[in-house]
Amino acid sequence: MRPSGVPAASEALERNKMETEKLYDLFLASAGVNTDTRTIREGQLFFALKGENFDGNDYALQALESGASYAVVCDTVVAEDPRLIKVPDTLRTLKELAAYHRNKLTVNGQRLTVIGLTGTNGKTTTKELIREVLSRKFRVSATEGNLNNDIGVPLTVLKMDSSTEIAVVEMGASHPDDIAALTPVSQPDFGLITNVGKAHLLGFGSFEGVKCAKGQLYDYVAEHGKAVFINADDPELMGMARSRGLSLVPYGVEYQEVTVHPITAEEPLLRFDLEERTVQTRLAGAYNVTNALAAIAVGRYFGVSLDDAITAIEAYVPSNNRSQMTRTGRNLLIEDAYNANPSSMAAALDNFALARDDHKVVLLGDMRELGAESAKEHQAVVRRLAGMDLERVCLVGSEFSAAAEGSGFQCFQDSDALAAWLKDHPLEGCMILVKGSRGIRMEKVIPLL
């Protein structure tokens, strides 16, 4: 027997639906959603979220004073104000509101099309390329930057409105059930996994754990969606997709008989031949060819011509230390310092090995969140470096320092130490690869190059 005063599950769900509908009316009348009191605009709906080092509930009244129309707070908040909306879990409420909004979005009477995207490497670059290609025909809403977590995804969905004709939602994962928690919010009709590799092993436990976690996007599309865009050259992805009986929209270097041009100091950016066309990108790194092919495949599926897709790819300029090529007054830099894991590090080094230059230098920072595999993976990188024709190697962080013991490579405790060394020992006339995990802050050394 149900205890007195405890609603049945169906009653609780119905009540929750009613509360979401009421909140949705407030959302529609608002100037949008915000979770940061420092950027509140007049009429916004503030959500007080909690993290390890902050509690938005402490700033709810401040948000109202700054112009927020209402503040959604935890029901433990003791302050009283008719504009405070108290709920058991503000993050869950944010996700529920976003999912409700997703279901309301239509284009010409049809449900809005959403493309969901995840993967170990290349998510953000691929998402940006897809956005550029689709924008040649549609009004596109897409994840801003890398706001791809349990807060960023609902905020991305809530920024979509009646003007949106197609949406691209990037979803990141560092734990086993992250994607499974995000797909009900974004509800993708199509999926794209860029690749599966060794990253966040501390959270996933193993490579199989990575595949299982990323594969949750395929699971959702298999049950609720239409098809997945897939690199047909990738046996891991093909196996994952076929085991789920998914409809496939393939692309790939071998699959499409694409030729990638060699990288030189004179022609350092990615160029490739596709269907008798040479595509000149502004991306550094041959590994980006699959990201570009993915964007072209998505565009063509939705009716963007090959000419328009190529024009969009060629016009895209990378930013935020992702696949950037910069020619300074002294050197040619390949800036890929936003993040690093074993698979992205291998791709970057493979690409750099193909580059033709007499003065090649590598500046690498530790790869984080690899758990028990960390020592082995850093040792593998050191062995790879030892077999390359490099003028200088500088390694930053405790993991690389331990792995490189006896190698003869220069090691530094942190990026500040490397920056100080570079100030006293400037590099000139070199082609330089800069890469490392976000926490190492390898971008600190770039002004010295």
Confidence of residue 269 (pLDDT cuts 50, 70, 90): confident
Confidence of residue 336 (pLDDT cuts 50, 70, 90): confident
Confirm if 36 and 66 have CB atoms less than 8 A apart: no
Position 99 in a domain: no
Given a cut of 90, whether residue 167 has pLDDT beyond it is: yes
Owner of token pair 């992702």: 322
Do 139 and 286 have their domain in common? yes
- pLDDT-wise least confident of 17-31, 160-174, 315-329: 315-329
Which domain does 411 fall in, by range?
Answer: 324-448
CATH of the domain at 211: 3.40.1190.10
Inter-CA distances, 338 with 319, 341, 393, 444, Å: 10, 11, 19, 11
CA–CA dist 321, 269 (Å, integer)? 15
Given a cut of 70, whether residue 231 has pLDDT beyond it is: yes
Per-residue pLDDT, 8 = 52
Confirm if 363 and 442 have CB atoms less than 8 A apart: yes
Given a cut of 50, whether residue 42 has pLDDT beyond it is: yes
Position 57 in a domain: yes
Residue ending a domain, choose from 272, 297, 315: 315
Position 111 in a domain: yes
Arithmetic mean of pLDDT, 139-166: 94
CA–CA dist 220, 116 (Å, integer)? 10
Per-residue pLDDT, 426 = 94
Given a cut of 60, whether residue 202 has pLDDT beyond it is: no
Do 340 and 395 have their domain in common? yes
CA–CA dist 69, 31 (Å, integer)? 9
Do 120 and 263 have their domain in common? yes
Per-residue pLDDT, 9 = 47
Per-residue pLDDT, 325 = 79
Do 236 and 351 have their domain in common? no
Confidence of residue 201 (pLDDT cuts 50, 70, 90): low
Arithmetic mean of pLDDT, 243-260: 97
Given a cut of 80, whether residue 394 has pLDDT beyond it is: yes
CATH of the domain at 89: 3.40.1390.10
Per-residue pLDDT, 346 = 86
Given a cut of 60, whether residue 440 has pLDDT beyond it is: yes
- pLDDT-wise least confident of 150-159, 221-230, 323-332, 397-406: 323-332
Arithmetic mean of pLDDT, 324-331: 86
Arithmetic mean of pLDDT, 119-145: 94
Do 20 and 140 have their domain in common? no
Confirm if 169 and 146 have CB atoms less than 8 A apart: no
Position 4 in a domain: no
CATH of the domain at 429: 3.90.190.20
Q: Output the average pLDDT for the chain.
A: 90
Q: Which residues fall within 8 angstroms of residue 326, CB to CB, at 6 or more apart? A: 332, 333, 335, 446
Tens-digit pLDDT profile for residues 345-388: 888 898 888 888 889 999 999 988 788 889 999 999 999 999 99
Do 90 and 118 have their domain in common? no
Per-residue pLDDT, 208 = 78
Per-residue pLDDT, 324 = 78
Do 307 and 328 have their domain in common? no
- pLDDT-wise least confident of 92-106, 147-161, 368-382: 368-382
Position 66 in a domain: yes
Arithmetic mean of pLDDT, 111-123: 93
Arithmetic mean of pLDDT, 198-224: 78
Confirm if 233 and 251 have CB atoms less than 8 A apart: no
Position 2 in a domain: no
pLDDT higher for 311 or 439? 311
Confidence of residue 14 (pLDDT cuts 50, 70, 90): low
Residue ending a domain, choose from 49, 74, 94: 94
Structure tokens at 158: 């809530």
Confidence of residue 52 (pLDDT cuts 50, 70, 90): confident
Residue ending a domain, choose from 249, 281, 315: 315
Position 233 in a domain: yes
For β-strands 190-193 and 248-251, DSSP reports them as unpaired
Do 164 and 266 have their domain in common? yes
Confirm if 124 and 146 have CB atoms less than 8 A apart: yes
Inter-CA distances, 234 with 94, 119, 135, 195, 357, Å: 36, 13, 28, 8, 30
Do 161 and 228 have their domain in common? yes
Tens-digit pLDDT profile for residues 69-96: 999 999 999 899 999 999 999 999 999 9
Do 172 and 303 have their domain in common? yes
- pLDDT-wise least confident of 66-75, 242-251, 324-333, 375-384: 324-333
Per-residue pLDDT, 322 = 64
- pLDDT-wise least confident of 147-151, 173-177, 234-238, 280-284: 173-177
Per-residue pLDDT, 3 = 41
Per-residue pLDDT, 198 = 57
Given a cut of 70, whether residue 1 has pLDDT beyond it is: no
271-274 β-sheet, strand order: 259-260, 271-274, 277-280
Confirm if 223 and 257 have CB atoms less than 8 A apart: no
Do 118 and 57 have their domain in common? no
| Percent of residues, the chain, with pLDDT higher than 70 | 93
Q: What DSSP element (H or E) covers 365?
A: strand 360-365
Instruction: Provide the domain count of the chain.
Output: 3
Given a cut of 70, whether residue 34 has pLDDT beyond it is: yes
Do 342 and 303 have their domain in common? no
Position 86 in a domain: yes
Arithmetic mean of pLDDT, 175-183: 88
